[in-house]
Structure 1
């Protein structure tokens, strides 16, 4: 006949603890039945324990539940029910508890700061872009860096973004939300959280006024600039000279031109192929720039000067680096455009406008040559070789058009 166990009560427990503190003789087990008991040690401490038989090995084991009265009698009984339900399913509650503890530690250790640092290792950005993003990361780390990524709420992201929105820094606020969103997407892929809470506030932040890059779209002004560039060649760093001469013809992002490598220039097929850093994490597709006869000749001339280096536009001070970020804009200012009338990046807007409005090329081909994502009638993104022949014709026509403007202005 099984031994009858009388259930514990709080008054009984407190009475026995008081007696135990006076006796100092030995540890006492106060059973509540079903494997649950309270262990009273010689110093009067009270510890909840659960005894059970492991389903796999049939050996006895014990789980620590907590200290009385921090863990009450009622709470200990709830744990007993949970453990017995697991045993009924042949699940070892000790192993289950260990797994839950490890998961809690895993989540607790995976703070926003930690996950963001891991994500940033996957980014392939220009050094200038990385420096520009440091401000954003610093502010995000200060606000939510120590929070487990799974515990962060949309309101917490919104609060830090609105600190800058209230100051009129809408671009900073948007960039902050965007960077947070990238981290959450990364965390979701690793199973660290289920929702991208930064995306949930994307429509709430204010939209600032778009500030367009300075660009020339007047033919006479453009011809004057091109003529100034040609007349001033040879007065400084030769790599900068060629960068400023080539950029209007290829209208890539200035950072992409500065990072051009000789290994990517195909003289035989008259192409320059590379992966734009801005789209590397999204599409990882190469961009192909067909080289007009004029651009090919300039690259061939430059190869005679910097061909032994890795980079086409190598720094004359350090052969392992490219010309600096600000050199192209500084050089343009020396050509008579002192008031921000044009920038290296502005050549992209110049080409987009004039190729469309003057030379009448299809806007889809222009956008594709700008390395923007362009989709066909079925919503699929064009691949890198799509319409390459048409784009080759367009790039030659563009260089011929620039030459016409240059010569017309020189007359």
Structure 2
């Protein structure tokens, strides 16, 4: 007689294992321990064989019968159900190795030492929170542009417009890595061109008027905060790097003898060089007795092993009564970009390279970190000297009478 759930539950353990048949080769094996397993008995190539169908009650009577019927269909087609199962497992294993999860993990492992730790953590978190739950299990070769767009639309729906675009950029890198590794043939990301919303760019508050800049510089000099924060404020306008790059500056990257600070730009992740003016070197030398023994130029007040908090510079500006509509930590970049162009008359390409923006020549090739370096060294020193003049209340209409001449070698 066919089994019933009530009948299966009533089966008790005995001194030895025993089977109770359900029909068409399916039976339940009752172990001496009381555990019950489904078994399907069949003949293939004149050999008696058995196939496990799961454990009861995890595998119900109904599901066990469905598995038996599938196995019988496989037999009817002339195939061995056991071999077919092994083949499926092998295919599934290959799919797991070729999944977005697996390939992204390899990609991140490669980038971990290359990228800034804070940036790495953000990229990893975006993938884990917004991509892997929907697409991570899929073989990368099965992921279409439409699958990615559905995922990115969900990110956009919560107002994270920039995050959606950054996730798209990261996925493009992962697909390129997969193609280079022979694990994919196509990158679907270019097919999403124009499909995502653009965030409305809110300009960062910045002082670009020379007289107001002079007032700000005097406020910074009069700041009564800690020595470390004061020096960070004094360096910010001189170097005009991104706020995160300044607060995470490491002594190992700074060479006072050659007057250069070399690091990977946080936005482009490319090598970048900041020529150090005499004024910047003086500030760094003053900092050495305070933080030169550690990793960071501007360590946290909680631990030398951590960099200064991301809100420190902003909080210091606010404590000086510099309003949020007047100046931001990022505003030092806009100040330099505007005033160097208008007052010192340097070419845009020189300024943009010093801002660590990606700039391309007329042939579409990206300039490298040493491009226009001599001009940039000259510019950084002139900028520092100009800031001194502003600090002292000297405001000129223009420092240079004519547009700066860029290096002949660079121009060609």
The two structures have a TM-score, normalised by structure 1, of 0.72
Distance in 2, Cα, partners of 1:197 & 1:121? 23
Matched with 1:56 is: none
The alignment partner of 1:287 has SS state of strand
Q: CA deviation at 1:132?
A: 4.0
Instruction: Mark the runs of 5 or more structure 2 residues left unpaired by the alignment.
Output: 1-22, 27-40, 51-69, 396-412
Asked whether the equivalents of residues 270 and 291 of structure 1 are also in contact (C-alpha less than 8 Å), the reply is: yes
Corresponding residue to 2:372 among 387, 390, 406: 387
Do residues 324 (structure 1) and 309 (structure 2) align?
A: yes
Q: CA deviation at 1:244?
A: 1.0
Q: CA deviation at 1:302?
A: 1.2
Matched with 1:293 is: 278
| C-alpha distance 130-273 of structure 1, shift in aligned 2 (>3 A) | closer
Asked whether the equivalents of residues 287 and 384 of structure 1 are also in contact (C-alpha less than 8 Å), the reply is: yes
Q: Within 5 Å, give how 1:173-188 maps onto structure 2.
A: 173-188=164-179
Q: CA deviation at 1:98?
A: 9.3
Asked whether the equivalents of residues 119 and 266 of structure 2 are also in contact (C-alpha less than 8 Å), the reply is: no
Asked whether the equivalents of residues 161 and 198 of structure 2 are also in contact (C-alpha less than 8 Å), the reply is: yes
Matched with 2:239 is: 250
Matched with 1:15 is: none
Do residues 358 (structure 1) and 343 (structure 2) align?
A: yes
Distance in 2, Cα, partners of 1:247 & 1:399? 11
Matched with 2:67 is: none
The two structures have a TM-score, normalised by structure 2, of 0.72
The alignment partner of 1:150 has SS state of helix
The alignment partner of 1:350 has SS state of helix
Matched with 2:143 is: 152
| C-alpha distance 125-215 of structure 1, shift in aligned 2 (>3 A) | farther
Distance in 2, Cα, partners of 1:309 & 1:105? 47
Instruction: Mark the runs of 5 or more structure 1 residues left unpaired by the alignment.
Output: 1-17, 22-26, 30-36, 44-65, 80-93
The alignment partner of 1:322 has SS state of coil
| C-alpha distance 135-400 of structure 1, shift in aligned 2 (>3 A) | same
Do residues 236 (structure 1) and 225 (structure 2) align?
A: yes
Do residues 335 (structure 1) and 320 (structure 2) align?
A: yes
Matched with 1:275 is: 264
Matched with 1:112 is: 100
| C-alpha distance 311-227 of structure 1, shift in aligned 2 (>3 A) | same
Distance in 1, Cα, partners of 2:148 & 2:49? 52
Matched with 2:12 is: none
RMSD: 3.4
Matched with 1:12 is: none
Distance in 2, Cα, partners of 1:334 & 1:120? 40
Q: CA deviation at 1:180?
A: 2.3
Distance in 1, Cα, partners of 2:100 & 2:363? 38
Matched with 2:31 is: none
Rg comparison, structure with higher value: 1
The alignment partner of 1:274 has SS state of strand
Asked whether the equivalents of residues 141 and 184 of structure 2 are also in contact (C-alpha less than 8 Å), the reply is: yes
The alignment partner of 1:191 has SS state of coil
Q: CA deviation at 1:352?
A: 1.0
| C-alpha distance 38-300 of structure 1, shift in aligned 2 (>3 A) | same
The alignment partner of 1:121 has SS state of helix
Q: Within 5 Å, give how 1:5-404 maps onto structure 2.
A: 38-39=45-46, 41=48, 67-70=71-74, 72-73=76-77, 102=90, 105-123=93-111, 124-133=114-123, 134-232=125-223, 235-280=224-269, 283=270, 286-404=271-389
Asked whether the equivalents of residues 20 and 42 of structure 1 are also in contact (C-alpha less than 8 Å), the reply is: no
| C-alpha distance 383-170 of structure 1, shift in aligned 2 (>3 A) | closer
Distance in 1, Cα, partners of 2:203 & 2:347? 22
| C-alpha distance 300-19 of structure 1, shift in aligned 2 (>3 A) | closer
Distance in 2, Cα, partners of 1:199 & 1:340? 38
Q: Quick check: 292-301 or 166-175, which moved more?
A: 166-175
Q: CA deviation at 1:409?
A: 8.0
Matched with 2:60 is: none
The alignment partner of 2:197 has SS state of coil
| C-alpha distance 177-387 of structure 1, shift in aligned 2 (>3 A) | closer
Q: CA deviation at 1:127?
A: 4.3
Distance in 2, Cα, partners of 1:163 & 1:317? 38
